[in-house]
């Protein structure tokens, strides 16, 4: 269930025996601060509530943001316990920072996601596939190529052989979704989970499997975690049946 | 101007009770800038500046902030006059409404603009249907977003000046037969001109740094809507060094403009 992330955290002080012993004997208590990718908002809100209920005395503080922004915060020493990002590259950047001392453990993959085309419910642009993203007369939004969803979009367009002509590059995936929700664009490329979270406000169109890369979501306890015991318990909870259930409800696929 | 001088022309020595907090305040404002300067990748500075997108973003920032300031002047000065002079019912409420963009998080301002002027917005849908005008994702949208957040600065500073002006000059002009418009043009406006200049500079400075409303309402596309703050934010995702270089460039240009105009406009007799 917990896949090892190749090339990550090899030099981390990760599984120091003392830590391990603490994690299994001490009862988690107090506040655990979790930095999570924006696309995890709905699922982690529920997972955090479940965790607080099953671990009385704990409080989960969630901070959602773009994965890259979160990684920058961690690298610059933001006091947090757990980091969950929307792609491997960002987690790797954290794992390799400061000579590999930022993570307390090997990151593990807890969910996967894929792209979907989001259109307003009435699909005013009659968008049917990725090829429509090349049409200049349509109003289109994709993520900026610097953020994970933008890199994913670029990869999908490359595989489909489409040169997209968007009207705007969203700074994160929720920004693109908002434009679809408000009907400002005819289509946007977002994650399946975003379409899921938007309910009836948008319609999702599947990409052909061949053009749709699958995205791994890694999670790890940070080396400087103020509350390592609760942090480990939280990561375990994300991997548990209850955690997987919540992730599935939010349309993530769980490994 | 007087500049720390008293009637005898001697320079006053500021009392310690004022000087200490003043210097603390100054340090608080300047230290983050020092942080940027220290972290700046001076070795690759020129290389970062060679990207054509940088100059497109800088030009767009300057053009849009200037247009937004112009728009603010055209409607903001009359609005300030209305608030200071005219008998408007519920004036306190109107004045509070003018400050709404100041307290509103800019992103929310952007969403509000989208809900009104967007393709399916209250006004936007008619603009689209009747005239084929669609504002989001255009440079005009950048100007509107910047005007929305910047104009209150101008209105408040001009209104304050108008209320401080000695009304007897205006009354004298009226007694001599000048119409209300002539009085405003020939008497009132020249007296508050320095404050109009100061307000315009404040508005310009606010517009040039505008981020939230712009990225929400106007989007982010290089060349048409990607101003410097947007370029900085996006660069921060992958290339923090480039982001620092862009910030410093924007800062240098803005400070040069502000210092250059400040002496000319605000210290005018």
Domains belonging to chain A, first-starting first, are: 3-112+216-249 (3.40.190.10), 113-211 (3.40.190.10)
Question: In this predicted structure, what is the pLDDT of residue A22?
Answer: 43
Beta carbons of A36 and A208 less than 8 angstroms apart: no
Residue predicted with more confidence, B128 or B149: B149
From the candidates B237, B239, B242, which should be mutated to test the interface with A, based on the most A CB atoms within 10 A? B237
From the candidates A184, A186, A188, which should be mutated to test the interface with B, based on the most B CB atoms within 10 A? A184
Question: In this predicted structure, what is the pLDDT of residue A2?
Answer: 43
> At residue A4, does pLDDT exceed 60?
no
> At residue A10, does pLDDT exceed 60?
no
At B238, give phi and psi (nearest 5°): -125, -25
Q: How many residues does chain A have?
A: 255
Helices marked H in chain A — which ranges? 17-25, 41-54, 67-75, 88-96, 148-160, 173-181, 192-197, 228-239, 241-249
Which residues of B lie inside 8 Å of A (Cβ-Cβ)? Answer: 111, 114-115, 118-120, 134, 136-137, 215-216, 219-221, 225, 230, 233-240
CA-based radius of gyration for chain A: 19
Using one digit for the tens of pLDDT, what is the confidence trace for A98-112?
Answer: 888 889 889 999 999
How would residue A48 be classed by pLDDT, with cut points 50, 70 and 90?
very high
Lowest-confidence region among A52-66, B238-252, B254-268: B254-268
Looking at the predicted complex, does its ipTM rise above 0.85? Answer: no
Beta carbons of A133 and A166 less than 8 angstroms apart: yes
Of B219, B234, B240, the CB nearest to A167: B219
Nearest CA in chain B to A186: B119
- Three-state DSSP class for residue B236: helix
- CA A63 to CA B164: how far, in whole Å? 47
How would residue B110 be classed by pLDDT, with cut points 50, 70 and 90?
very high
Using one digit for the tens of pLDDT, what is the confidence trace for A184-206?
Answer: 999 999 999 989 989 899 999 99
Give the CATH architecture of domain B59-220.
Orthogonal Bundle (1.10)
> At residue B265, does pLDDT exceed 70?
no
Using one digit for the tens of pLDDT, what is the confidence trace for B10-46?
Answer: 667 889 999 999 999 999 999 988 988 998 888 888 8
What ranges do the domains of chain B cover? 59-220
Across the A:B interface, residue pairs with CB atoms under 8 Å apart total: 59
Helices marked H in chain B — which ranges? 16-39, 45-49, 52-85, 91-98, 100-103, 106-117, 124-126, 139-164, 167-175, 180-183, 189-208, 212-217, 228-238, 240-265
Model-level pTM?
A: 0.79
- Three-state DSSP class for residue A143: strand
> At residue B5, does pLDDT exceed 60?
no
> At residue A224, does pLDDT exceed 80?
yes
Using one digit for the tens of pLDDT, what is the confidence trace for B154-209?
Answer: 999 999 999 998 889 998 998 998 898 999 999 999 999 999 999 999 999 999 99
């Amino acid at each position: 269930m917990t896949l090892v992330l190749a090339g990550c955290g090899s030099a981390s002080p990760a599984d120091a025996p003392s830590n391990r012993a603490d994690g299994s004997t001490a009862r988690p208590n107090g506040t655990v601060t979790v930095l999570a990718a924006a696309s995890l908002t709905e699922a982690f809100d529920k997972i955090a509530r479940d965790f607080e209920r099953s671990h009385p005395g704990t409080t989960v503080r969630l901070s959602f943001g773009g994965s890259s922004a979160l990684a920058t915060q961690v690298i610059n020493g933001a006091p947090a316990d757990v980091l969950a990002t929307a792609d491997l590259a960002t987690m790797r950047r954290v794992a390799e920072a400061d000579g590999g001392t930022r993570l307390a453990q090997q990151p593990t993959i807890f969910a996967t996601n894929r792209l979907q085309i989001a259109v307003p419910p009435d699909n005013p642009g009659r968008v049917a596939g990725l090829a429509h993203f090349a049409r200049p007369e349509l109003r289109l939004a994709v993520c900026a190529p610097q953020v994970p969803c933008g890199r994913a979009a670029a990869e999908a367009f490359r595989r489909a052989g489409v040169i997209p002509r968007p009207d705007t590059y969203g700074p994160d995936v929720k920004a693109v979704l908002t434009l679809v929700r408000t009907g400002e664009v005819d289509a946007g490329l977002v994650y399946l989970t975003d379409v899921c979270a938007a309910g009836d406000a948008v319609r999702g169109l599947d990409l052909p499997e061949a053009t749709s890369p699958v995205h791994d979501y890694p999670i790890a306890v940070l080396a400087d975690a103020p509350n390592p015991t609760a942090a480990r318990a939280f990561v375990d909870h994300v991997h548990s049946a209850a955690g997987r259930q919540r992730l599935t409800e939010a349309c993530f696929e769980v490994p | 101007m007087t500049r720390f001088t008293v009637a005898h022309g001697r320079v006053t020595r500021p009392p310690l009770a004022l000087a200490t907090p003043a210097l603390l305040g100054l340090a608080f404002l300047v230290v983050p800038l020092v942080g940027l300067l220290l972290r700046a990748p001076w070795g690759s500075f020129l290389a970062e500046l060679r990207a054509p997108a940088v100059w497109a973003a800088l030009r767009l920032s300057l053009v849009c902030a200037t247009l937004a300031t112009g728009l603010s002047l055209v409607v903001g000065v009359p609005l300030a006059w209305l608030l200071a002079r005219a008998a408007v019912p519920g004036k306190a409420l109107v004045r509070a409404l003018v400050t709404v963009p100041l307290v509103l998080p800019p992103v929310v301002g952007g969403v509000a603009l989208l809900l009104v002027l967007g393709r399916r917005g209250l006004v936007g849908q008619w603009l689209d249907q009747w005239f084929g005008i669609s504002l989001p994702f255009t440079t005009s949208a950048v100007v509107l977003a910047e005007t929305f957040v910047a104009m209150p600065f101008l209105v408040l500073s001009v209104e304050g000046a108008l209320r401080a002006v000695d009304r007897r000059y205006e009354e004298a002009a009226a007694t001599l037969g000048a119409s209300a418009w002539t009085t405003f043009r020939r008497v009132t406006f020249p007296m508050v001109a320095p404050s109009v200049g100061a307000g315009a500079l404040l508005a310009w400075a606010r517009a040039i740094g505008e981020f939230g409303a712009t990225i929400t309402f106007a989007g982010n596309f290089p060349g048409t809507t990607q101003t410097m703050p947007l370029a900085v934010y996006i660069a921060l995702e992958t290339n923090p060094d480039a982001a620092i270089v862009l910030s410093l460039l924007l800062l240098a240009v803005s400070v040069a403009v502000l210092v250059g105009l400040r002496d000319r406009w605000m210290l005018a007799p």
